[in-house]
Structure 1
């Protein structure tokens, strides 16, 4: 599979958890695309990997500014909710 130029550069800048390239909250859209491609045959592995990053991000953000940590639902949506399997045609 050909490498998508620059896509792998969309990594988190810790402790802020912003993308080093586009400064969007990480995982940004390009990072999500890269992760989806890299874990295309292992959705559970992707979820486990991102759960670890969610844990790291929560600790970093609390240490950085305990009064400005995003709510847990926002962090869950940012790191994990997008990895859920989409229902296909005819599925509930």
Structure 2
């Protein structure tokens, strides 16, 4: 049985591979599950919001920077222009 690449909260690491969530496998799975890119981005924005709260609560001084979290959660899912 394959383990799902779901987030382990409040650390926001992948339960299956231990990488920062969404890991590469989670990203591919999410792209497959969400045919509508807008719906995927809305889902990821909600996850980002929760991750910011969790990670800041764990260690306010060393929480990831907002730009890094945005890229991690939404940057890969947003279609690039140009």
**Displacement of 1:86:** 4.4
Structure 1's consecutive aligned runs of 4 or more residues displaced over 4 angstroms after TM superposition are none
Given candidates 27, 41, 61, the residue that maps to 1:32 is 27
Query: Does structure 1 residue 19 correspond to structure 2 residue 14?
Result: yes
Q: Report the 3-state secondary structure (helix = DSSP H, G, I; strand = E; otherwise coil) of the residue aligned with 1:24.
A: coil
Report the TM-score, using the length of structure 2 for normalisation.
Answer: 0.93
Q: Which has the larger radius of gyration?
A: 1
Count how many residue pairs are aligned between Structure 1 and Structure 2.
Answer: 82
Summarize deviations over 1:44-91 as a string: whole Å, max 9, x none: 00000000000000000011110111111100000001012245xxxx
Which one of 59, 62, 66 corresponds to residue 68 of structure 1? 62
Q: Distance in 2 between matches of 1:67 and 1:24?
A: 21
Matched, 1:81 2:72: no
